[in-house]
Amino acid sequence: MMAGGGDAETLPAGGPASHVPVLLPEVLQGLRPREGGLYVDGTFGAGGYSRAILAIPGARVIAFDRDPAAIRDGAGLVAASGGRLTLVHARFGDLAAELRALGVEKVDGVALDIGVSSMQFDQAARGFSFRFDGPLDMRMESAGRSAADIVNTESAERLADIIYAYGEDHASRRIARFIVNAREAGPITTTAALADIVQRAIPGKPGDIHPATRTFQALRIAVNDELGELVRALAGAEEILAEGGTLAVVTFHSLEDRIVKQFFAQRSGRGAARSRLLPGEPVPPPSTFTLQTRHPVAPSASETAANPRARSAKLRVAIRTDAAALGLDARLAALAALPDREPAKGGRRK
C-alpha cells in the first residue's frame, strides 16, 4: 500500500500503525465496516486498512500480499488479532480463487490500494526507485523476471512498447535506442545506471519530473503485470462480493484509474440507454454495481501536505447488486496488455 507519515493511530490487534494508507477515512466511509462483517484487504502492505477494519468489534479481515516481506512483517498483527485476521501470500488478482480455497463464499467489502508501497520504494535493494542506487530489480515477489532482465534482453521495439504503453512516454523509441546502445558496453544492472541513460536520452528541464520517472513506472508495471492483476482483481471482487457489499479502489496514475473507471461504468450501466435500443440490439446485462459517487474522491490538501505521495491518488467506490457476476472483460484486459505487434514505422513516438 502507498503509505506515509503522520500521527500513529491507536488500534487493536497490532498496536500503533507506523504507516497510514492514502485516503484511509474515505475508504472506511465507503466500506462501512460493521461488527461481524468479513472484509478483504487486497493489498496488505503495512496493514493500515486491515488495522482500521479490525478496530470494528468482531470484524474479520482476509488480507493478501504478493510480497514475502509484507507477509513476514504482518505476522505480529495476525498473532495479535485473536483469529480475526488471515494473511494470505498471494496476488490480489487471484483473490476470488484464494477465497474459495479458504471456503469463503461471499464477503462484505473489498479494498484495493493499487501500486507500490512506501516500504518498497524506500528500500534501495528492491530497485523500485532511482532516488537510491540499487540493483535494477522491481519484483514485488522477489521471483520471476526482473527489470534488469527486461532491459538487457528485450528488443528496442519491445522496450519502446513497454515504455510507451505503461509509462505514457512519447519519447519511448529514443529511450529504447539509448538503452540498447548502452547495454552493448555491458549489462545495465543498477537503478542509477538506467536513470542516467534515460536522462541522456531526454534531458529534463528545471522543475520537471525526472526524465526517468515514466520509464521506471513502465518497467515496474511490466515486471509485476500490475494492470493485468488489477483487471483480474476487479472481476474477482465482483464474483466474491455479497449483495450490498462495497468495492473501494485507490489508484495512483491514469492507467490504473482508466481501468477502474471503465469497469465501474460498464458494470453500473452508466451511459447505457436501455429504452433506446435499436431493433435487434442485444439488451445489456443487469448492472452488477451501483456507483457510490459519480466522481473519484481525491486526498485533502492536508493529506497531500503530510504525504506528497498521495497527491495523485483517486478513490472510486461502488456497491454490489444482486445481479450475476459478468466475469473478465476482454475490453478491460486489452487496456492492460501490450500491443501484440511491433509499432508501425513513422508513428508519433520519437
Nearest-angstrom CA–CA distance, 213 and 328:
31
Give 100's contacts (C-beta < 8 A, 6+ positions apart). none
Domain range summary for the chain, segments of one domain joined by +: 3-118+226-321, 121-224
What's the pLDDT at 161?
97
Q: What is the pTM of this model?
A: 0.86
The secondary structure of residue 9, as a DSSP letter, is B
Q: Where are the beta strands (DSSP E) in the chain?
A: 3-4, 20-21, 38-41, 60-65, 85-89, 107-113, 241-251, 289-291, 314-320
Nearest-angstrom CA–CA distance, 252 and 314:
7
What's the pLDDT at 129?
67
Nearest-angstrom CA–CA distance, 17 and 167:
32
Bridge partners (DSSP) of residue 328 are: none
Neighbouring CB atoms inside 10 A of 314's CB total 21
Angle at 115 between CA 67 and CA 94, to 5 degrees: 60
Give 205's contacts (C-beta < 8 A, 6+ positions apart). none
Give 319's contacts (C-beta < 8 A, 6+ positions apart). 244, 245, 246, 247, 289, 290, 292
What's the pLDDT at 325?
97
Can 3-118+226-321 and 121-224 be said to share one CATH topology?
A: no
Give 27's contacts (C-beta < 8 A, 6+ positions apart). 21, 49, 111, 113, 248, 250, 315
**Cell numbers standing for residue 16:** 500503533
* Topology given in CATH for the domain delimited by 3-118+226-321: Rossmann fold (3.40.50)
What's the pLDDT at 349?
54
**Cell numbers standing for residue 163:** 515504455
- Intervals of the chain under pLDDT 70: 1-20, 115-130, 271-278, 280-281, 341-350
Phi and psi angles of residue 198, each rounded to the nearest 5 degrees, phi first: -65, -40
What's the pLDDT at 8?
29
What's the pLDDT at 106?
98
CATH number of 121-224: 1.10.150.170
Give 21's contacts (C-beta < 8 A, 6+ positions apart). 1, 2, 3, 27, 45, 46, 48, 49, 113, 250
